[in-house]
């Protein structure tokens, strides 16, 4: 089975061809990071314009790199939501046109299901499975009892982990996106400022990052009022320690409670070296299978959309030409 995946939910224009749900035949990502950096974040109108300029090139590029004709494909999978509506629509309309012109079925994929299925490109999923999703807009613990079955057991009550990284980076005067910059500073640091951990209630798998963000802002403010200056690497290291410790501990607790066979991490923040190391060490010690995709498959890409799309295709799921962008699309189970 060959599936073409298309992703345009935020600021990456991406297309990819996947064979049998796990083999990457081609994977093209056109990033807008350089232009977003000038504004310190994603400006929706600018993102949409970039997608319009790139989408055809990226789809043609994915087919060319795969050395395939449209007739070789079985379906087109496209991100239906969540994301920026104007950005989503560029990918969806391109997918509809391509599917219609080539007589192919179209499949609408949830962006976060895509992040989860990035793992399927590395090794088969084993259920029950616990997914830690940490991205620019989401921080969630999701329990999966089979393909297409998603049960939310915890989520952030305020900022997403990636959002916290981007906001703290701004406070430290680092460029957008903040995650990679903080990660690098934290790893190089020889000391760390002590910041609070947001454990919330003992039994809760929910997260909170806005208090930590405020603690960083207050720390900087107080020091500057006394005529001092912060050491950015020490702040970065302290912030990262707090985030990583809470994410690791709650994921471990949930993995044990639900007695899962496999734990996976997904989303842009799963590219974080400190988080990867902490999760790998913790689960290795516990003897629980833990996987995280390579960094290029953690951040937005279309291979993950094609991978999830293939699982949906095998479950008989088909979309139609009425498909619309769904900015607030919930992560609902698709099977049975």
157: phi then psi, degrees, rounded to nearest 5? -95, -10
Quote the least distance from Cβ 321 to Mg ion, whole Å: 28
Annotation-wise, does 135 bind a ligand? yes
Is 321:108 a contact under the CB 8 Å cutoff?
no
Is 223:172 a contact under the CB 8 Å cutoff?
no
Q: Which of 79, 262, 272, 278 binds ligand ATP (CB under 6 A)?
A: 272
Q: For residues 8 and 135, which CB has a smaller minimum distance to Fe ion in the complex?
A: 135
Residue 163 in contact with Mg ion, rule: CB under 5 A: no
Cα angle for residues 310, 108, 157 (degrees, 5° grid): 105
**Dist CA 15 CA 270 (whole Å):** 21
Residue 5 in contact with ligand ATP, rule: CB under 6 A: no
Residue 156 in contact with ligand ATP, rule: CB under 6 A: no
How many other CB atoms are found less than 10 A from the CB of residue 70? 15
**Dist CA 85 CA 87 (whole Å):** 5
Three-state SS for 142?
strand
Annotation-wise, does 238 bind a ligand? no
Q: Which of 300, 309, 319, 323 binds Mg ion (CB under 5 A)?
A: 300
Residue 135 in contact with Fe ion, rule: CB under 5 A: yes
Looking at the DSSP assignment, which residues form a beta bridge with residue 75?
3
**Dist CA 273 CA 136 (whole Å):** 16
Q: For residues 163 and 300, which CB has a smaller minimum distance to Fe ion in the complex?
A: 300
Annotation-wise, does 136 bind a ligand? yes
**Residue 137 interface partner, choices ligand ATP, Mg ion, Fe ion, none, CB cut-off 5-8 Å depending on type:** ligand ATP
Annotation-wise, does 300 bind a ligand? yes
Residue 166 in contact with Mg ion, rule: CB under 5 A: no
Annotation-wise, does 173 bind a ligand? no
| The total number of residues written for the chain in this structure | 336
Quote the least distance from Cβ 136 to ligand ATP, whole Å: 3
**Residue 58 interface partner, choices Mg ion, Fe ion, ligand ATP, none, CB cut-off 5-8 Å depending on type:** none
Quote the least distance from Cβ 35 to Fe ion, whole Å: 18
User: In terms of DSSP bridges, do strands 139-144 and 151-155 run parallel, antiparallel, or are they unpaired?
Assistant: antiparallel
Annotation-wise, does 221 bind a ligand? no
For Fe ion, the binding residues (CB under 5 A) are: 135, 300
């Amino acid at each position: 089975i060959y599936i073409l995946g298309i992703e345009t939910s935020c600021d990456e224009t991406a297309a990819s061809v996947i064979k049998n749900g796990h083999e990457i035949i081609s994977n093209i990502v056109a990033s807008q990071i350089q232009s977003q950096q000038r504004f310190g974040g994603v400006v929706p109108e600018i993102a949409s314009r970039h997608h319009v300029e790139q989408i055809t090139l990226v789809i043609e590029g994915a087919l060319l790199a795969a050395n395939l004709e449209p007739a070789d494909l079985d379906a087109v999978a496209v991100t239906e939501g969540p994301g920026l509506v104007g950005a989503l629509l560029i990918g969806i309309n391109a997918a509809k046109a391509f599917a219609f012109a080539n007589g192919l079925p179209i499949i609408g994929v949830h962006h976060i299901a895509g992040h989860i299925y990035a793992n399927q490109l590395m090794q088969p999923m084993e259920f029950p499975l616990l997914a830690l999703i940490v991205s620019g807009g989401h921080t969630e613990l999701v329990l999966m009892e089979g393909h297409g079955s998603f049960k939310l057991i915890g989520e952030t009550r305020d900022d997403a982990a990636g959002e916290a990284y981007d906001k703290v980076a701004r406070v430290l005067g680092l460029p957008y996106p903040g995650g990679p910059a903080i990660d690098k500073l934290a790893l190089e640091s020889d000391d760390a400022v002590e910041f609070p951990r947001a454990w919330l209630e003992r039994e809760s798998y929910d997260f909170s990052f806005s208090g930590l963000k405020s603690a960083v802002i207050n720390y900087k403010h107080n020091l500057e009022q006394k005529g001092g200056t912060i050491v950015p690497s020490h702040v970065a290291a302290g912030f990262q320690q707090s985030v990583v410790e809470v994410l690791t501990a709650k994921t471990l607790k949930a993995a044990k409670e639900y007695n899962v066979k496999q734990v996976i991490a997904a989303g842009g923040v799963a590219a974080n070296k400190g988080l990867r190391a902490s999760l790998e060490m913790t689960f290795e010690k516990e003897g629980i299978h833990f996987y995280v995709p390579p960094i290029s498959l953690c951040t937005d890409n279309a291979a993950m959309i094609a991978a999830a799309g293939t699982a949906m295709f095998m479950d008989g799921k088909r979309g139609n030409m009425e498909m619309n962008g769904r900015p607030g699309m919930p992560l609902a189970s698709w099977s049975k």
